[in-house]
């Protein structure tokens, strides 16, 4: 009867407080041991630390795992993380690899898996296991052939003279030679698309500098080689070669000033637009003048005096409008050239060169937001190249 009155709820139950107390006691002991170990470690000299490191190395991983399992889920888990040193950061060669000249992407890191060292050669590394990347010597788009052809072309355009030589090389002629045929560039397809692709590739400050570092020495060297090679039965003398170097050095320095001046004009697009509008207006009126002159000629052949006089008045009126449009275009051009000269210290550059460079830069500015920075970088590189040509000329004397 008494046994029937007892139920399962009357059975004795474990006391949770004892279990938690036991686990916390173990954790506390471990924590004290860790803190004591830390104090011991911090008070040792460097030599003692190295000895301890070697002795503990074989059992560290097992001990760390045991401690982490013990403190997991307790307030001492954070203490464990503080006492565990973080992993070392990645080296800069991995996080920020250098860029090879003549490429758009970062350097490709290549290495072989080191072979096991021979017995008794612990710590040695086989130098053949990690090959060194070959130095980049040419670009796949701006080819070395362009540099060589440019040097030979500039020499062929130089004409010696008693008071100093002359040359037909300029930005317009260079653009005609290389922009019209993409001579020496690894670009395929039709010319307009290829030219735009080339500019997207090369017309940035970083790429200009990379290409310059790649080809500047080669250009100066090939300029001298071409100058010392007979052309059309003639060969330049050392004094003529020196004069050629000085001539091109001066022109490059002048072009650098033009680039700086164009890049410094704050309202370049507005000035170019005003010039373009006046030029287009003059062109439209000129077309109307041509039509009016034709009508006048017809009236003179078989028209009345009244018809002839009316046609003549129309021609005169349109000629006056055309002259005003030409004057407006001239004023717009002068405003642009004056702005460039005042900012680029350009004194000897002719108006045609300034207007050509400004127009070219304006078209690039509409598609490339970094045009001004690229122009400034181009000016810097041209000045450096000018100095190299001057030094080469001194050696040629």
The tokens describing 83, both together, are: 């006492």
Q: Residue 122 above 60 pLDDT?
A: no
Cα–Cα distance for residue pair 250/238, rounded to 1 Å: 18
- Please name every residue paired with 231 in a beta bridge, in sequence order, or none if there are none: 234
- Summarised one tens digit per residue, pLDDT across range 233-271 is 678 899 999 999 999 999 999 999 999 999 999 999 999
3-state secondary structure of 40: helix
- Residue 91 confidence (pLDDT): 44
- Structure tokens, 13: 């139950």
Distance in angstroms (rounded) separating the CA atoms of residues 358 and 237 = 37
Which pLDDT score, from 0 to 100, does residue 108 have? 36
At residue 226, the pLDDT reads: 92
pLDDT the model gives residue 373: 95
pLDDT at 98: 45
The pTM of the whole model exceeds 0.75: no
Q: What is the pLDDT of residue 64?
A: 54
Give mean pLDDT, residues 68-85: 53
- Report in angstroms the alpha-carbon separations of 245 from 378, 385, 389, 395: 20, 11, 5, 10
Partners of 142 in beta bridges: 185
Identify the band that residue 191 occupies on the pLDDT scale cut at 50, 70 and 90. Answer: confident
Average pLDDT on 123-139 reads: 62
What does the pLDDT look like over 145-187, one tens digit per residue? 999 999 999 999 999 998 899 999 999 999 999 988 888 898 8
Res. 292: pLDDT tops 60: yes
Cβ neighbourhood burial of 135 (10 Å; 0-12, 13-18, 19+): exposed
Q: Is the pLDDT of residue 364 over 60?
A: yes
Contact of 331 with 339, CB cutoff 8 Å: no
Task: Specify whether the CB–CB gap between 352 and 172 falls below 8 A.
Answer: yes
Q: How many CB atoms are closer than 10 A to CB 32?
A: 10
Q: Which range, of 84-88, 263-267, 308-312, 328-332, averages the lowest pLDDT?
A: 84-88
Residue 92: predicted pLDDT: 47
Number of Cβ within a 10 Å radius of residue 255: 21
Count the residues in the chain: 397
| Lowest model confidence (mean pLDDT) among 6-15, 268-277, 315-324 | 6-15
Q: Bigger pLDDT: 313 or 96?
A: 313
Question: Are 397 and 239 within 8 A, CB to CB?
Answer: yes
Quick: pLDDT tens for 7-51. 434 434 444 444 444 444 444 444 444 445 544 445 555 555 554
In the chain, % of residues over pLDDT 70: 64
Higher local confidence (pLDDT), 315 or 63: 315
Q: How far is CA 123 from CA 4, 88, 115, in A?
A: 80, 21, 12
Mean pLDDT of the residues in the chain: 76
- Report the pLDDT value the prediction gives residue 262, as an integer from 0 to 100: 95
């Amino acid at each position: 009867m008494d046994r029937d009155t007892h139920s399962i709820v009357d059975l004795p139950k474990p006391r949770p407080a004892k279990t938690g107390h036991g686990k916390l006691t173990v954790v506390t002991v471990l924590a004290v041991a860790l803190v004591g170990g830390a104090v011991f470690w911090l008070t040792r000299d460097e030599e003692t630390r190295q000895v301890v490191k070697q002795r503990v190395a074989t059992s560290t991983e097992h001990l760390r795992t045991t401690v982490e399992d013990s403190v997991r889920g307790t307030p001492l888990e954070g203490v464990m993380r503080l006492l565990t040193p973080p992993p070392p950061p990645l080296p800069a060669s991995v996080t920020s690899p250098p860029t090879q000249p003549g490429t758009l992407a970062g350097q490709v890191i290549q290495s072989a898996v080191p072979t096991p060292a021979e017995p008794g050669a612990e710590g040695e590394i086989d130098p053949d296991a990690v090959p060194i990347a070959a130095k980049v010597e040419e670009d796949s788009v701006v080819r070395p052939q362009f540099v060589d052809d440019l040097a030979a072309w500039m020499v062929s355009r130089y004409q010696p003279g008693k008071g100093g030589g002359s040359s037909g090389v300029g930005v317009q002629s260079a653009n005609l030679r290389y922009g019209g045929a993409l001579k020496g560039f690894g670009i395929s397809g039709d010319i307009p698309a290829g030219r735009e692709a080339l500019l997207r590739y090369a017309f940035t400050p970083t790429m200009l500098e990379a290409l310059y570092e790649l080809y500047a020495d080669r250009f100066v060297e090939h300029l001298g080689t071409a100058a010392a090679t007979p052309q059309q039965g003639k060969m330049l003398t050392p004094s003529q070669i020196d004069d050629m170097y000085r001539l091109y050095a001066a022109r490059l320095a002048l072009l650098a000033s033009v680039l700086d001046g164009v890049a410094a004009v704050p309202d370049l697009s507005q000035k170019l637009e005003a010039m373009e509008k006046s030029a287009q207006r003059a062109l439209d009126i000129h077309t109307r003048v041509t039509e009016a002159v034709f009508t006048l000629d017809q009236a003179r052949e078989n028209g009345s005096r009244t018809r002839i006089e009316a046609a003549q008045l129309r021609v005169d009126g349109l000629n006056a409008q055309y002259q005003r449009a030409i004057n407006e275009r001239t004023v717009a051009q002068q405003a642009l050239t004056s702005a460039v000269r005042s900012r680029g210290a350009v004194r000897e550059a002719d108006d045609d060169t300034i207007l050509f460079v400004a127009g070219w830069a304006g078209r690039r500015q509409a598609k490339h937001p970094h045009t001004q920075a690229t122009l400034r970088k181009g000016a810097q590189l041209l000045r450096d190249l000018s100095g190299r040509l001057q030094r080469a000329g001194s050696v040629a004397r």
